[in-house]
Amino acid sequence: MIHLMIFLPLLGSLLLLATPKRWRDEVAGFVAALTLGLGLLIWRGGGAEVFRVDWIPALGVTYSVALDGVSLTLALVTAFMSFIAVLYAARRISNPGTMLSLVLAMETGLLGIFAARDLLLFYVFFETALLPALLMLAIYGKPNRMRALVKFAAYTLFGSLLMLLSIIGVKAYGGSPTFALADLIQNPVKGAAQTWLYLGFLAAMAVKLPLWPLHAWLPDFHEQNHDSGVPDVMGTLYKVGGYGLFQFGLPLFPDASEQLRPILMGLAAFTALYAAWIAFRQTDWKRLIAYAGLSHMGFVALGVFSLNETATIGAMYLLAFQNVYTGALFLAVGMLQERVGSVHTRVGGVMTQAGALGGMTLALWFASIAVPGLAGFVGEFSVLLGAYQVQPWLAFIAGLSTIAAAAYALTAFQTTFWQGRPLGAVRVADLRHTEWLVLGLPLAVAVFFGVYSAPALNLIQPAVRGVLAGLGGQ
Amino acid sequence: MAPTAYYIALSGLLFAIGMIGVLTRRTAIMVFLSVELMLNAANLALVAFARAWGDLTAQTAVFIVMTLAAAEVAIGLAIIVSIFRKRETTNVDDLAGLKG
Amino acid sequence: MPLYLLPLFPLIGFALLILFPRLFPGRAAGWLGSATVLASFVVAGARYLGQTDTPAHEVLWTWLPNMALNANLSAGFYLDQLSALMALIITGVGFLIHVYSVSYMGHDPKFTRFFAFMNFFVAMMLILVLADSYPLMFVGWEGVGTASYLLIGFWFSGRNSEASDKDLRGASDREGVANSNAARKAFIMNRIGDLGFMLGMFLLFKLYGTLSIPELAARVPGAQVATAGIELACLFLLVGAIGKSGQLPLTTWLPDAMAGPTPVSALIHAATMVTAGVYLITRSHFLYDLAPVASTWVAWVGGLTALYGALSALNQHDIKKILAYSTVSQLGYMFMAVGLHAYSAGVFHLLTHAFFKALLFLSAGAVIHALHEEQDVRAMGGMRKFMPFTHIAALMGVLAISGIPIWSGFFSKDAILAAAYTSSPLLYVVGLGVALLTAFYMGRWYFLVWRGEYRGHVPHPHEADGLIKVPLGILAALATLGGFLNVPAFLGGGHAFDAYLGRAIPVHLHEIPAATEWLLTLLAVAAGVGGLLWALAEHRRRSLADGPLGQISSNALYLDRVYDGLIGAPSRAIAEGLDVVDRGVDGTLAGIARTSAAPGGLFSLWQSGFVRAYAVSMLLGTALILGYWAIKTIGGGA
Amino acid sequence: MIAFILLGALTLVGAVITVAARNAVHAALGLVGTLLSVAGLFASLSASFLAATQVIVYAGAIMVLFLFVIMLLNANAPVRGRDPVPFVRELAGIGGVVLAGAFAVLAFTYKDPRPLAEGVAATRGGGAGPVGEVLLTRFLLPFEAVSILLLVAIVGAVALVNRPAPQPDGVADTGGLTLPTSPDLQSEALLPEKVRA
């Protein structure tokens, strides 16, 4: 079932190419929903144990996959948000065949990233997911997309190269027979080599987190992507750096992560504050949300790097659910753009005519800036609380970004949705048809997991405990 | 019987002459002729080694190279003819459409 | 009846009203909203009557990881005497204000949404006071902040945003910007406080390993923890309380918050939400009892804020702004009380203040309504003739807040001053001075609005309708008689309120000789009466419109401008700078790209498209490799 | 040995003529000389089948094709003009000399692994029989692949040279080569009629 879940979207993506135009929406929606359904079935069945066969025996590459704990949570969120993205893409984009196909192909890459329990397989999926992302930007992007494209590709490929080197290094120096995670943990790398390999691994993950100063591709990527926000949803899901560090970084490089902890935590806290502060200045909704997402990623990194159980749980929780509300915010911006023809934050007065759109956007913003009772809070609060136990001052610095978050979110919201509508501006229609679902479902998820966190917590907490117990600390 | 080394040296010389021809001549057909020289140089070396090692594999390879050369000449000349038709020249320096 | 019903009823109301507004035509939304709050009031009343000395603790479900003692923290509700009292205030006063709003907001196009937000607020406030852990309290804490944001910005585009008249529309747009800014300011300043609250929680967790309040209360007294840690945690919590309660230095959002509809000002920015800071400190009494320095800070913050609020109120001209600064000042009193460990006195003042301040705001609202949204007291006067009932109600409120005997404010303020006298004479002097100022500016408010000749523009202002009168009447009665809940011993009372609250919060009894008590009481009454007489004298001289201190008071001691210059402008500038730098990181990288493209330019020159150039490159490469090989062979072979 | 020296000298002379001749026909004839000498060298290396193939296929068929094209295009007129890339000739000369020198040096370090007579015996004289045996057993697949390649080459050559039917408005088809960046290609309608003929 797990294999079906991973590869079903890819099959659907290929199938779409052969589907007549009028059925494409339905097919894509069906495939995305089926994938989500499979994910839920796996969840009900208590997750999928490690499945392992040799893939390229000569190189020691195995096909090892599992979905449990953190990875299952993230896979479910990915399937859910892909479904939402497909829903909106089908409604918004005329002749969306290619876009739907790319979204589904990317979903396979992302699910593979989360399921992989072999470092090289992880790398393969990691790169697989990159292609549709690049194609979406290249095909559907705005006029200045080439610059963004080159930047995105350059950063990512640069990081990936270093990661590949350290992946090979981990196997070579540790003397493991295969690239499977279990084998690699059995044969750890010792001493200074571990630190260097960790830095290489970190480079790729820091690009993908992203972490200051390797974040410059992110705002451009989102700014130049298609107005509908569908590629942005997938791009948000692609920010898997936090997961990679947690699932592979910590177990493989325990000493190095302990050793570099203060520096990395400092970098993460700085990222959180820096991004939030810059977001305050943005006048393009997409750049703004991109920086907001960057700020969240600073929190995620802070949690993972702190090696504190509560903080790491919070980081994973935040990583999972920020996808939901950040993605939905991108789609809300897409709807705004469809109505007023701009993603500028100084439109003014939209809520006087589109109350539901404004209200939903505001609620999603509240989730994003971690108002308690919504999903963002559980993660952010746990991260800060855990980080405070380790490095109080860094937690304080990261905590300052909660103030900045209120400032940037509410300022942009106010100047777009509140205040007077300029005289003579076009009348704005409220939400219609599937748009209700596209914003309503993520909001419902954000509320549900903000109030009742147990379902996600039951998945994340044991996994985090397992990983941290392997480090022998905390 | 002359030692293999002599043949190899001759082959190298032939190759170098062909190479210089390719580089200095500007007519497409002359470039082509020089390329044939280089191919023959390679063939010669192969046959010499075939004798030294007593293995017919190299001779087979030479046979295939000859066939390829025939095919290459057929196609290459056809291209030259059609270029000449369009551009009225066979000067390779005028054909700079691949400028980076 | 389970405790979760308390917040659940208004939450259901909120969900229905926000999701299905079309189901509630006309005033149905108002009645539904009021009914849910009434239902909560009934539950609160039932729980109050059935209360025992052991606090009720009802756990719901697991919520946050690892934040209880070696376990995950659960969400749950906790009812002791303090939270029962708060729940009664919130639902009781809340219900009255809901009923009032049915009439007051009756003509607003967003009537349904208003009641949705009000219900949301009540639910969040109940979660705040009933929470069994600090994080859950934080849910209510930020929840009420959110509700406050939504309600301050209720008229986010002005009240005539659809007007076709250009001037009207322009004025409306300006109003919209002002309202929106006020809402945002409130939320952001609250967030500053919230960060303090969060840091306090983090530190408490570090010190004691749990955030559950009952667990903490059991653990703190016996734990071996450095006093400095507790002090710091208490100071962090104080920052949170300051933000929510509009104390110095985070006070400037509260007067601006008057941009919201008047019932909102009454419920949120006078009676309930802003008192959350007092509640937080009282709830954390087991910590503050161990932290003398932090407690002193609390008291002084309160004292100074009381003075600041009173001075700022002296020369305001907006009927609601006067009351807003008065709220700031009265909250300062409460902080002073809880800072001096006189929790019972502080909470008692909270109770009476909820009555008389809600009453004052609601009567101000009635006046504003009667004068067609006129808010400047200089364009009022003589309203006594037009609105006799409202006038009587407002007078009760003025007498109560001025501390005139038998009215509720007298008892509660007296208790605070007595506590200040025993602990810190300096604070007592401040408190007494503030009492005098309070009486003066409230007298000024009263005379300017209700007495003298009518200066308004509306030809014949009408008395409020029945729906407004009923809450006014009930609140006037409570403001008048509420003080008798806690009659001190020297006046022959039994300290009923202190005794009730004492079952949950230890009451530190101050041993003051009866003679001194009498003296203090006389002084306080003298201050109140003196202030009113001063106002009367000014009224006779017709110089009341221009209060003392002139511009300094009108501009609230210029605090806003100081903040904007010291914090607002620099942080905007930094954001600007960082943005440039961030694009500059880009720029730098682009520069590097260009530099690395320069040799690329050389290469592209080489990529001339000339076949022979390519061939030469190939030849040179080959020749180089073979040449090297040959040289190596010669050298190695020889 | 004498045969080698004679044939080798002939080969080089032919090669030099090929490269240096101003007239394309002379160059082609020089190449024919080289090819025939190489065939002789093949024979001296006891590769009789290849020697025969060299004469028939190379010196015969291919060179005829060359001469035919040279005559057809009238391309024996020398091309004049500045070299667009500086120092190509010089670089080519230096590179060629270094290459030849390096080859020679490396060649003379090569020692025959065993007496040459043994090799000759093992290749069984390199006649059609032994070569055909290897070609049709061990290298059957490459052999077939090459045959397909030849077929493709024939089809390709026909397709390339085949002239499209003239357009009604007189504008010749670009033959699928649409490179709008090159002004030359767009002006091809102005080509003189004789080129098309």
pLDDT digits 0-9 by tens, A171-190: 888 888 888 888 888 888 88
Alpha-carbon torsion (A245, A250, A256, A258), positive or negative: positive
Residue of C nearest to B15 (CA): C619
Q: Does D181 map to a domain?
A: no
Longest CA–CA span in chain B (Å) reads 52
Nearest to A379 by CA among A265, A465, A297, A294: A297
Say what the pLDDT of residue D176 is.
42
Q: Does D35 map to a domain?
A: yes
Is pLDDT larger for residue C280 or for residue B94?
A: C280
Q: Does C167 map to a domain?
A: no
**Residues A364-389, mean pLDDT to the nearest whole number:** 90
Residue C590 predicted with pLDDT over 80: no
- Chain C CB contacts of B19 below 8 Å: 619
Asked if the Cβ–Cβ distance from D85 to C626 is below 8 Å, we say: no
Count Cβ–Cβ pairs < 8 Å, chain B vs chain D: 281
Considering its fold, how many domains does chain C have in total?
2
Q: What is the phi-psi region of residue C165: left when phi exceeds 0, alpha when psi lies from -120 to 50, beta otherwise?
A: beta
Tell me whether C202 touches chain B (CB under 8 Å). Answer: no
Three-class secondary structure of residue C78 per DSSP: strand
A315: confidence class by pLDDT, cuts 50, 70, 90: very high
Alpha-carbon torsion (C118, C123, C124, C126), positive or negative: positive
- The neighbours of chain A, by the rule of 3 or more Cβ pairs under 8 Å, are C
Q: Does C623 map to a domain?
A: yes
Cα separation, C288 vs C296, whole angstroms? 10
Question: What residue segments make up the domains of chain A, in order of their start?
Answer: 260-474
C380: confidence class by pLDDT, cuts 50, 70, 90: confident
Asked if the Cβ–Cβ distance from D50 to B79 is below 8 Å, we say: no
**In chain B, what are the domains?**
4-88 (1.10.287.3510)
Tell me whether D103 touches chain C (CB under 8 Å). Answer: yes
- Chain B CB contacts of D88 below 8 Å: 23-24
Cα separation, A148 vs A128, whole angstroms? 19
Cα separation, C131 vs C216, whole angstroms? 13
Least confident stretch, A228-232, C28-32, C468-472, D32-36 = A228-232
* Residue among C605, C626, C628 with most chain D CBs within 10 A, to mutate: C626
* Residue among B30, B46, B93 with most chain D CBs within 10 A, to mutate: B30
Asked if the Cβ–Cβ distance from C180 to A392 is below 8 Å, we say: no
Q: How many residues in chain C? A: 638
* Residue among C136, C578, C596 with most chain A CBs within 10 A, to mutate: C578
For residue A420, give the nearest of C158, C571, C579 by CB distance: C158
- Chain D CB contacts of B84 below 8 Å: 73, 75, 195
Is pLDDT larger for residue D193 or for residue C584?
A: C584
Asked if the Cβ–Cβ distance from B10 to D42 is below 8 Å, we say: no
The token pair that represents C324 in the structure block: 């807003």
Asked if the Cβ–Cβ distance from D47 to B63 is below 8 Å, we say: no
Nearest to A215 by CA among A142, A134, A272: A272
For residue C609, give the nearest of B26, B31, B96 by CB distance: B96
- What are the two backbone dihedrals, phi and then psi, of residue C541, each rounded to the nearest 5 degrees? -80, 0
Residue C308 predicted with pLDDT over 60: yes
Cα separation, C378 vs C389, whole angstroms? 22
* Residue among C605, C612, C626 with most chain B CBs within 10 A, to mutate: C612
Q: Does D24 map to a domain?
A: yes
Tell me whether C484 touches chain B (CB under 8 Å). Answer: no
Least confident stretch, A55-59, C299-303, D5-9 = A55-59
Nearest to A71 by CA among A29, A114, A104: A114
Percent of chain C with pLDDT over 90: 29
The three-point CA angle D97-D99-D100 to 5° equals: 65
Percent of chain B with pLDDT over 70: 89
Q: Does C631 map to a domain?
A: yes
Burial label for C108, CB within 10 Å (0-12, 13-18, 19+), is middle
Least confident stretch, A189-193, A305-309, C396-400, C573-577 = C573-577
Average pLDDT for chain C = 85
Considering its fold, how many domains does chain D have in total?
2
Say what the pLDDT of residue C597 is.
53
For residue A372, give the nearest of C18, C142, C149 by CB distance: C142
Least confident stretch, C239-248, C267-276, C498-507, D15-24 = C498-507
Which residues, numbered 603 to 622 in chain C, qualify as contacts with chain B under a Cβ-Cβ cut-off of 8 Å?
A: 603-604, 607-612, 615-616, 619
Asked if the Cβ–Cβ distance from B81 to D69 is below 8 Å, we say: yes
| Domain around D18 | 1-77
Residue of B nearest to C620 (CA): B19
Cα separation, B2 vs B10, whole angstroms? 12
Helix (H) or strand (E) holding A9: helix A2-17
pLDDT digits 0-9 by tens, C538-584: 888 877 777 777 777 777 777 777 777 777 777 777 777 777 777 76
Percent of chain C with pLDDT over 70: 94
Least confident stretch, C397-411, C587-601, D26-40, D41-55 = C587-601
Do chains C and A touch, with touching meaning 3 or more CB–CB pairs less than 8 Å apart? yes
Three-class secondary structure of residue C79 per DSSP: strand
Asked if the Cβ–Cβ distance from C609 to B98 is below 8 Å, we say: yes
Q: Which residues of C275-287 are buried (b: 16+ CB within 10 A; e: fewer)?
A: bbbbbbbbbbbbb
pLDDT digits 0-9 by tens, B25-34: 878 888 888 9
- Chain C CB contacts of A460 below 8 Å: 65
Cα separation, C221 vs C235, whole angstroms? 18
| Domain around C561 | 557-592
Residue of A nearest to C593 (CA): A151
Helix (H) or strand (E) holding D9: helix D2-20
Asked if the Cβ–Cβ distance from C619 to D95 is below 8 Å, we say: yes
* Residue among B23, B30, B32, B37 with most chain C CBs within 10 A, to mutate: B23
Residue D34 predicted with pLDDT over 50: yes
pLDDT digits 0-9 by tens, C79-136: 988 899 999 999 999 999 999 999 888 888 888 989 999 999 999 999 999 999 999 9
Nearest to A351 by CA among C145, C155, C185, C18: C155
Cα separation, C57 vs C364, whole angstroms? 40
Average pLDDT for chain A = 87
Residue D179 predicted with pLDDT over 70: no
**Residues A146-175, mean pLDDT to the nearest whole number:** 85
